[in-house]
Amino acid sequence: MANLLISEIFGATIQGEGSLIGRQTVFIRTAGCDYRCAWCDTLYAVDPVHRPDWQRMSSHEVLEEVETLTHGNPILITLSGGNPALQNFNALIDLGHDKGYRFAMETQGSVSPDYLSRLDYLTLSPKPPSSQQRTDWSKLDNNVRKAPKQTHLKVVIADEDDYHYARALADRYPELPLTLQPCNLDTMDEESADVDALNDQLKWIMQRCQQDHWYAPSLLPQLHVMLWNNERAV
């Protein structure tokens, strides 16, 4: 049954952000999202205007495509979006685990499907004020309750309000590791991103953490932007 709505499948490449940064992976990017972030870098997987480019696929078809890309070598599969938690990945997780694949998902934590606990890795990336979206803390709590052991928080930081949001998030979930990254505000520009500005923003995040003697979070660059700028599906 073709029940998965897919924007693109690509790789093998490397994870460019979050706690799994640098890990070799294949991306399954789902289509559709319940958010409209001001700085969304994947509108082609979010805005319904792009629906003609999306494809309905069965779990078997998705895994066949992954196996073609990996030449049958089981590696990490990253479920991304849009918001991948809107889709039912139970069957794909079963098929992939049977063949030795591991699954990671990144989601904003607005939807909490039961299969979250079956993932090998989960990154919860709630959106800070600069996104112009509102966090439903009760829904995020549900995600944390269902989360697997290997769960991390991630927040992109564009300004001081985002930094304070990250501090509040860390206080709410002190048991979860947190990574902070600079926010790419040039994602609507198909030509290029300002990599120097991103690096300067990372330095500012580091300075703010040091000013507050807040040493718990990991501070990471947007590695994929540093390597490929705003190119798609590398």
Model confidence at 229, pLDDT cuts 50, 70, 90, reads low
What local confidence, expressed as pLDDT, does residue 233 receive? 56
User: How large is the average pLDDT for residues 36-51?
Assistant: 92
For 154, residues 6+ apart whose C-beta sits below 8 A from its C-beta are: 17, 18, 19, 106, 123, 124, 125, 178, 179, 180, 181
Looking at residue 205, what is its pLDDT?
A: 97
Strands 4-14 and 55-57: antiparallel
| Residue 225 in this model has a pLDDT that exceeds 90 | no
- Mean pLDDT for the stretch of residues 175-179: 97
The residue among 211 and 222 whose pLDDT is bigger is 211
Please report the sign of the dihedral spanned by the C-alpha atoms of residue 47, residue 132, residue 30, residue 186: positive
pLDDT confidence of 227, banded at 50, 70, 90?
low
Q: What is 4-228's CATH number? A: 3.20.20.70
Mean pLDDT over residues 116-143, rounded?
97
User: Is the pLDDT reported for residue 40 higher than 70?
Assistant: yes
The band of 224, judged by pLDDT with boundaries at 50, 70 and 90, is low
Q: Is 156 helix (H, G, I), strand (E, B) or coil?
A: strand
* Per-residue confidence (pLDDT) for residue 89, from 0 to 100: 97
User: Is pTM beyond 0.85 here?
Assistant: yes
Instruction: Give the closest residue to 25 by CA, choosing from 14, 16, 34.
Output: 14
Judged against a pLDDT cut of 50, whether residue 62 lies above it is answered with yes
pLDDT at 146 over 70: yes
